[in-house]
């Protein structure tokens, strides 16, 4: 089996930042894959997942962007712990092949464990890895081009700057660093954030980031805010028309150091809430679901709304709307599309992300886009593949 590492990372990234749930890759065994900001560890985690699933051989294509950034010698050594390893050029990237795949005895080279199994969800991955720990948080005087336009827009309308007052049945949880403070008014009964506010930030960028964070986490459980608040913030502000800021998994701190301050404040506010209330649970099952309006809408009206949104998104991003066709709407939230014409040969992953982001904004924030699986019309080849499939 051949896996495209950068595509899987992008699929996971899309699942993490637009759906915030376990992703469903083509290879079922990779549902146990635990990603890491370190690409070599992520690749080793793929090999470990393959070993757990009983796969004997594994081929991983590593795209140019990742191949240029990793230490290839270190990758060969690390992958060698999982079997007989070979690496060779493949187009602009590398093909890593591992035969007789086995478990690695060194657990430090594989993903986190939880009750004997792999951590399958991005929720848990985000919780166990505090990406603000041990990092120096500097004044955010500038931010990268991927976020600049959205940050400037957020800074022109600061709606959450100020202070909060207490209320019966609620707790004010706070995070503070360098004079900047995040205040959350949290309901003791359901641990949800009723109101969010910030004050004391020293730069326009910090104020804009904290203001947008407050907007994104109000109404959410405080555990969700701690787990995914800054993940949502990074993705919300990212310019989707540009290339992804990093190869592999895009974590906020690696994408831009300006996200370290909001990350620390929201994580510290969660810990402050725990101290004040004795709340100890780390479970996160938050899923807002689609709106009641969308669930009650007839199928033809749903398609009309989707097609109108696709037409606007296509015009804004200079691709033909007629080459995107909605083929199915499943389980209220799963929108299946087919790329035709010029888009058949385009970067479909990028197109899918642009479309999903726009549809979430214009139609319903819980919708998920999937590309239609194309059936192989060659019957002999299809039957041969079915016989040899593990």
The 10s digit of each residue's pLDDT in 39-74 is 898 898 888 888 877 777 888 999 888 988 888 889
Let me know the angle formed at the C-alpha of 223 by 221 and 226, rounded to the nearest 5 degrees.
115
Domain boundaries, the chain: 2-99, 145-277, 292-371
Residue whose pair of structure tokens reads 């969800």 in the numeric block: 121
Fold of 145-277: Sufe protein. Chain: A (3.90.1010)
Question: From CA 336, how far away is CA 140, in angstroms rounded?
Answer: 40
Cβ atoms 208, 182 nearer than 8 A: no
Phi, psi of 284 (to 5 degrees): -140, 100
Answer whether 180's CB lies under 8 Å from 129's CB: no
Query: For each of the chain's 390 residues, which pLDDT tens digit applies?
Result: 678 888 887 776 665 544 443 444 445 567 656 667 788 988 988 888 888 777 778 889 998 889 888 888 899 999 988 888 988 888 888 999 998 888 776 544 444 333 223 333 333 333 434 444 556 788 899 999 999 999 999 999 999 999 999 999 999 999 999 999 999 999 999 999 999 999 999 999 999 999 999 999 999 999 999 989 998 899 899 987 787 787 656 777 778 999 999 999 999 999 999 999 999 988 888 887 888 999 999 999 999 999 999 999 999 888 899 999 999 999 899 999 999 988 887 778 788 888 988 898 899 988 989 888 765 555 555 455 555 444
How far is 346 from 357, CA to CA, in rounded Å? 18
d(CA 114, CA 137): 31
State the CB neighbour count (10 A cutoff) for residue 219.
14
Fold: same for 2-99 and 145-277: no
Fold of 2-99: top7, de novo designed protein (3.30.1710)
Task: Report the pLDDT value the prediction gives residue 15, as an integer from 0 to 100.
Answer: 57
- The single residue listed with the structure tokens 């992958």 is 79
Q: In 3D, which of 65, 111, 94, 101 has the Cα closest to residue 250?
A: 65
Q: Is the pTM of this model over 0.85?
A: no
Work out the angle at residue 371's Cα, subtended by the Cα atoms of residues 369 and 373, and round it to the nearest 5 degrees. 140
H-assigned helices in the chain: 5-14, 39-52, 64-69, 72-79, 122-128, 145-155, 204-217, 222-237, 252-255, 260-277, 292-296, 299-317, 348-362, 379-388
Collapsing DSSP states into helix, strand and coil, what is residue 47? helix
């Amino acid at each position: 089996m051949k896996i495209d590492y950068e595509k899987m990372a992008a699929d996971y990234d899309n699942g993490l930042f637009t759906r915030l749930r376990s992703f469903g890759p083509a290879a079922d065994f990779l549902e146990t894959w635990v990603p890491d900001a370190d690409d070599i560890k992520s690749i080793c985690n793929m090999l470990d997942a393959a070993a757990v699933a009983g796969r004997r051989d594994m081929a991983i294509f590593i795209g140019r962007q990742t191949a240029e950034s990793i230490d290839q010698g270190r990758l060969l050594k690390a992958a060698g712990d999982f079997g007989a390893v070979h690496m060779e050029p493949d187009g602009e990237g590398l093909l890593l092949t591992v035969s007789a795949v086995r478990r690695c005895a060194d657990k430090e080279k594989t993903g986190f464990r939880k009750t004997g199994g792999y951590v399958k969800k991005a929720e848990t991955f985000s919780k166990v890895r505090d990406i603000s720990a041990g990092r120096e948080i500097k004044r955010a005087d500038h931010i990268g081009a991927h976020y600049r336009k959205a940050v400037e827009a957020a800074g022109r309308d600061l709606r959450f700057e100020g202070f909060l007052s207490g209320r019966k049945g609620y707790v004010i949880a706070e995070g503070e660093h360098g004079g900047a403070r995040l205040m959350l008014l949290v309901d003791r009964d359901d641990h949800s954030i009723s109101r969010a506010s910030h004050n004391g930030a020293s730069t326009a960028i910090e104020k804009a980031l904290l203001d947008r964070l407050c907007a994104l986490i109000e109404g959410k459980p405080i555990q969700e805010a701690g787990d995914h608040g800054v993940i949502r913030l990074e993705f919300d502000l990212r310019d989707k028309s540009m290339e992804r800021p990093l190869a592999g998994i895009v974590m906020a701190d690696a994408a831009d150091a300006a996200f370290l301050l909001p990350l620390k404040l929201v994580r510290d506010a969660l810990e402050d809430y725990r101290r004040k209330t004795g709340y100890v649970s780390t479970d996160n099952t938050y899923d807002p679901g689609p709106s009641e309006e969308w669930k009650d809408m007839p199928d033809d009206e749903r398609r009309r709304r989707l097609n109108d949104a696709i037409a606007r998104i296509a015009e804004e991003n200079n691709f033909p709307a007629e080459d995107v066709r909605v083929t199915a709407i499943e389980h209220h939230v799963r929108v299946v599309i087919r790329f035709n014409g010029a888009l058949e040969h385009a970067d479909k992953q990028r197109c899918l992300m642009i479309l999903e982001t726009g549809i979430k904004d214009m139609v319903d924030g819980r919708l998920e886009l999937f590309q239609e699986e194309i059936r192989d019309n060659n019957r002999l080849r299809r039957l041969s593949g079915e016989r040899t499939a593990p």
